[in-house]
Structure 1
Amino acid sequence: MISTELKKAREYEERESALVPETERPVYHFTPRVGWLNDPNGFSFYRGQYHLFYQYHPYSSFWGPMHWGHAVSADMISWEYLPAAMAPDTGYDRSGCFSGSAMTLPDGRQLLMYTGCGDSSEDPLQKGRWMQTQCVAVSEDTGDGRTEYVKYEGNPVISGDDLPENCDTYEFRDPYIWRAPDGTYRALAAAGRTGEIGEDGNYHTDKGTQLVMFRSDDCFRWEYRKVLFEDRRRIGVMWECPNFFELDGKQVLIASPMDMQAEADEAIGSVRFPQGSNVCCIPGEYDEETETFTPDGGYEPVDIGLDFYAPQVTKTPDGRTIMIGWMQDPKNGNFAGPDEDFSRPGLQYAVPVEDPDGYLHGPEGTRVFGQMTVPRELRFRDGKLYQWPIRELRDYRKDKLEYSGIRLSNEEISLVGLSGRTLEMQVDIAPSGEGAPLYRDLTIEFAKDDDHAVRLSYKPGRSLVTIDRSRSGQSGDITAMRCTRASYEGGKLSLRILLDRWSAEIFINGGEQVMSLTFYTPLEADGISFSAEGSVLMDVTAYGMD
């Protein structure tokens, strides 16, 4: 029997989602059934289908008490919405069912492991923070072709009592579960370090994080094993949504640190990591016997763009490693209602309006907020994480356009027939000929009209790729520009660009780097142009997308 809260959410999403026209959604990126979406959860393959759960507040396009939305797909591109899987309806999760992951049990049932946010603390030093514990729900066939996820009567399965000293029970979340080679299970969760009372009389966290590992024989009874990874403010405050997996002979940790200090990169004259939330990749070696992770020593951004957070990784039946992420910078998200000072939009599928404070808010009646990236295949080679769109995306191409041997010389051009806001485009750039002088700049502008444009540029002298959305209609307080250094290949550059109405994903040189971003430019701004300083040779292949 489902709870009153879950029944209410399902009735609401069924009624209200019918009112959301397809024109308010991207074409081939996943959006919530209705309301708000953030982290992907429980990304998995189960009973012949891919399952995507997600952090979900159906009742508005702003963050609120977290539910788990649910969708299934045969190919990870076209998704069928299912009724919400979980709602905050018990004492241990009444403030929200936060992020987690999925596991298929030996008896064929699917288990969801998630963070339950309970009641606010009555401790005045904690200022209303939520107690966070780890909980599970298990699939149950109803007999009429439906599946319900039933919360385990023994929840929470991991609580603050199971944590070592110096772990903050109010910052303990996002379990990532996997099966070890011996058939037992491991779960890795983020735990903030405990803090102290400051001179101002308020409680201050240590602003460090630990990734704590637990072991279980059955996924229901867990024991603490160790701190697998620890960081004391070197890389942010709280490492949300950890993933820990083997990839091409390397053990990889991907996590999403909050409140990072900006990390400068003098080589590009910009930042490698901006101030705020980021996603890091740490490769290393893992000893199964001692359960010890030894990082190789470095950490790199997973996506160097403007909007990417909290990705989750899964394996496909054919052995590929696939990652999907929330295409949003958390600081730009609608984490509060429209009357709150710190509300920020990221992606709003309607013409935005600007309030007197200069912040953009969706107009009254906006019904969806947030989207996922296209799922990406991951490989690790030459010390780098490579990413590119899953091969299934090719099945959605149409209306191929090819332009070969285009020469640009200190000019700006548009290509006949090439425009739009929903397309895939491959652009290969090189100097204009053997022994030709190196050009100074190549710029592609899209989502363009007389007043708007998103600009992607490459300066081969520094091998610098820059994305700039400052003319896209964003509020001035939202980060507008990011830079990265591509591998230098004598002025050659390969770009694969996915445009989908209000977003772009840009894959550089076969996926050695990726830039993801959202923008508000009106859909009527659908121009695409190319310009060069110096002489450039360019090949372009483009497809419309269904």
Structure 2
Amino acid sequence: MRTLDALSRRLSLGVAVCGLLFWLLPLREVAADDVLIEDFEAESYGEWTITGDAFGPQPAKGTHPNQQAVVGFRGTGLVNTFRAGDPSIGSATSPEFEISRKYVGMLIGGGARIEETAVELLVEGTVVRKMAGDDSEELEWKNWDVSPWLGKQAQIRIVDQGTGSWGHLNVDHLIQSDKRPTRFDLEYRLSEYRKSTDYLAEPLRPQVHFSPEIHWMNDPNGLVFHQGEYHLFYQYNPAGNTWGHMSWGHAVSPDLVHWEHLPLAIPEEDGVMIFSGCCVVDHDNTAGLGTKDDPAMVAVYTGHGHGKQVQNLAYSTDRGRTWTKYAGNPVLDINSSAFRDPKVFWHAPSQEWKMVVSLADEKVLVFYGSSDLLQWNELSRFGPAGVVSKSNWECPDLFELPVENGSEETLWVLEADMGSGAIAGGSGGEYFVGKYDGVRFSPIQDSQWVDHGRDFYAPVSWSDLPEEDGRRIWIGWFNNWETCLVPTFPWRSCMSIPRELSLRRIPTAADASQSAVVLVQRPVRELEALRQGGEQIDTSAIGWPPQSVTTQGQIAELSFDLEMTLEPGESRSCGVRIRTGEGEFIEVGYDREPGVVYVDRTHSGNVDFHPGFAGRHAAPTRLQDGTVTLRVVVDRSTIEVFINDGEAVISDRVFPTSQQAVLEVFGGGPTAKISKMQLWPLKSIWMDRD
């Protein structure tokens, strides 16, 4: 009993001490809920005082006639003073309210001339704060620190006295908050989209290719493997579905197939966009941004703003979940407006970091070296070289690859992309095969096309793959700058299938006794985990006109993996049509006279959104023992054709009006046949979450 009494006294004393310590600890400030001033969702302005003709009798419902698209407002209503065009003027003044939070925030767009178009804060009748737009129809969060006037009576006045260009304002969702609103309304947009019944399931959204949940995406960036995760960063507009406000989006995957969307990684800030770049793991802590036991992920990217492009760093010590911009940025500045897209890797023979980066307008690639990622020395330059008609050079990559056929030979691949002038029109990439000694790259043959379709751009390879994996894997933007405004919403663009790379010697077309080294690209083996079932297709009905070899409904989803062997014989052509409607099909075939495999998307569905979209895209192809092997990955609005085990690739976007497909086979003569055709439906990476 004495023991229990003593224990009870100790417990009571412990509770008392803990209670005392609790009251002595500093209390964490808890932010109060936001206070809505006005959301403009009513059918009138209510108690607001309106003057002039710019505001109209009620809030606008979006874009006015003859106005660029207004985006970024919440709900259906907003203030839009373009009601009668820029010449219209007026004001709107709110009823009084008490300032009860640290910040007043709002979504605002429109004109930037604050003396003509402005939102004003009046405290006890005096203007104490002003705010304007950025000459853009995209509404973004802006805010005032109003803590000096806590407890005071205030009003909001929206003033439009501008009559020239950008003489109007767009305003929505005025709030008081103890938390400073971030610039982009991304979290709200995502939360609304995630409630949608179409979440990641729109008819044209690829189901085995990565795409952002919402908004615009372009080049892949910062590909790195770290602590069991494949990281994919990418050029992203957090404000809308067209290019702009370039920031780094972020996703991770355990297997290169299933992707988890993560919050915005590195945002545009202070007038500097976050252009393309790379990411490495600094295992030896050469930059001093982490430790050897807990190495930092270091992003090396182009900062685009204030009239020039410079190379900056950001780093993360929590597996890429949060990022800190390096205080000593920029780490490389040559006072150029076209100096971008660094790719950095560790070069073991010289025990040094290497960078290849583009002088885009000069069509020159520059090589640098560094011991610590912070100080860089120029080593050499390459170019101009390769395709003469290109408009620029950007997004380079440099890596070593094995040459197939059992040898231990390795060579280096230098890849760079052009905004126009590519093989199929518009943007595309070229690569050189050669040798690299840590200082300079020396090609051993002319450049070759990375992809013969229109829609594969800015591929970049993963850094820090485990040594036991042994693969070089890259991914590309599945789009073309010329036709990039593809007809999808609320997202735009996707990535290619990740591809495993190697080199292969093949006979040249001009002289079979001579060989050339080509880049081989294959879908990563992990894709096969998405295959369901598997069905041999009887192609004995091949002929002309094309003959159906599947029935309506047999292919339930336009997302499948198809392997086939074409044997043209003496015929001009043979192949397959993927028919999605009357007069609507994608044709993939071999054409003997030019000696090519081609994808023809002329009749593939919606081809009218851009005059350059429809067309046929071909890759030179060799017959091997009279055959051509094809692997065709179709995914709702994408098609990738891997020819002869990856010796050439054609990547094209397509926008069919139906997701129900029938396969047809065709041959241009009696000797043509398809000796093998096997079809696997593919499971969705978005719905297959187990």
Cα deviation, 1:180-205, whole Å, max 9, x if unaligned, reads 1133211111013xxxxxxxxxxxxx
Q: Does 1:160 align with 2:334?
A: yes
The structure number with the bigger radius of gyration is 2
Q: Does 1:296 align with 2:444?
A: yes
Measure how far apart 1:447 and its partner are: 4.5
One-letter identity of the residue aligned with 1:520? F
Structure showing the higher strand proportion among its residues: 1
The structure 2 residue matched to 1:170, chosen from 323, 327, 337, is 337
Distance in 2, Cα, partners of 1:254 & 1:139 = 28
The 1:160/1:537 distance shift into structure 2, 3 A limit, reads same
Task: Give the match's secondary structure for 1:534.
Answer: coil
Distance in 1, Cα, partners of 2:539 & 2:603 = 30
The structure 2 residue matched to 1:277, chosen from 427, 444, 448, is 427
Measure how far apart 1:461 and its partner are: 4.4
- Give the conservation status (yes or no) of the 8 Å contact 1:235–1:257: no
One-letter identity of the residue aligned with 1:278? G
Q: Equivalent residues in 2 for 1:403-422 (5 A)?
A: 403=537, 406=540, 408-417=542-551, 418-419=554-555, 420-422=557-559
Give the corresponding residue for 2:133. Answer: none
The structure 1 residue matched to 2:347, chosen from 157, 170, 180, is 180
**Which structure exhibits the higher relative contact order, with contacts defined as CA atoms closer than 8 Å and separated by 6 or more residues?**
1
Distance in 2, Cα, partners of 1:275 & 1:440 = 26
Q: Does 1:427 align with 2:564?
A: yes
One-letter identity of the residue aligned with 1:159? D
Distance in 2, Cα, partners of 1:5 & 1:482 = 47
Measure how far apart 1:371 and its partner are: 0.3
The structure 1 residue matched to 2:570, chosen from 438, 443, 457, is 438
The 1:416/1:521 distance shift into structure 2, 3 A limit, reads closer
Q: Equivalent residues in 2 for 1:62-77 (5 A)?
A: 62-77=242-257
Task: Give the match's secondary structure for 1:159.
Answer: strand
The 1:541/1:312 distance shift into structure 2, 3 A limit, reads same
- Give the conservation status (yes or no) of the 8 Å contact 2:477–2:496: yes
TM-score by length of 2: 0.64
The 1:500/1:216 distance shift into structure 2, 3 A limit, reads same
Q: Equivalent residues in 2 for 1:110-129 (5 A)?
A: 110-119=297-306
Aligned residues: 461
Measure how far apart 1:543 and its partner are: 0.5
Give the corresponding residue for 1:237. Answer: 391
Measure how far apart 1:43 and its partner are: 0.9
Distance in 1, Cα, partners of 2:572 & 2:382 = 47
Distance in 2, Cα, partners of 1:139 & 1:13 = 26
Cα deviation, 1:384-416, whole Å, max 9, x if unaligned, reads 111110000000000311135635244422223
Cα deviation, 1:190-221, whole Å, max 9, x if unaligned, reads 013xxxxxxxxxxxxxx531111222111122
Q: Does 1:15 align with 2:191?
A: yes
Deviates more, 1:58-67 or 1:437-446: 437-446
The 1:5/1:322 distance shift into structure 2, 3 A limit, reads farther
Give the corresponding residue for 1:327. Answer: 478
Measure how far apart 1:446 and its partner are: 1.2
Task: Give the match's secondary structure for 1:331.
Answer: helix
Give the corresponding residue for 2:368. Answer: 214
The structure 2 residue matched to 1:460, chosen from 592, 605, 611, is 592
The 1:524/1:378 distance shift into structure 2, 3 A limit, reads closer
Give the corresponding residue for 2:497. Answer: 374
Task: Give the match's secondary structure for 2:384.
Answer: strand
Q: Does 1:84 align with 2:264?
A: yes
Cα deviation, 1:228-269, whole Å, max 9, x if unaligned, reads 443498252321100011111111101102333x6xxxxxxx
Task: Give the match's secondary structure for 2:497.
Answer: coil
Give the corresponding residue for 1:531. Answer: 666
Measure how far apart 1:9 and its partner are: 5.4
TM-score by length of 1: 0.80
- Give the conservation status (yes or no) of the 8 Å contact 1:76–1:375: yes
**5+ residue gaps in structure 1?**
120-129, 162-168, 193-206, 263-272, 334-344, 350-365, 432-436
- Give the conservation status (yes or no) of the 8 Å contact 2:454–2:652: yes
One-letter identity of the residue aligned with 2:499? R
One-letter identity of the residue aligned with 1:460? R
The 1:378/1:240 distance shift into structure 2, 3 A limit, reads same
- Give the conservation status (yes or no) of the 8 Å contact 2:415–2:431: yes
Q: CA RMSD in A?
A: 2.2
Distance in 1, Cα, partners of 2:268 & 2:633 = 36
Give the corresponding residue for 2:316. Answer: 139
**5+ residue gaps in structure 2?**
1-178, 284-290, 403-409, 506-516, 684-690
- Give the conservation status (yes or no) of the 8 Å contact 1:208–1:236: no
The 1:146/1:459 distance shift into structure 2, 3 A limit, reads closer
- Give the conservation status (yes or no) of the 8 Å contact 2:547–2:666: yes
Give the corresponding residue for 1:397. Answer: 531
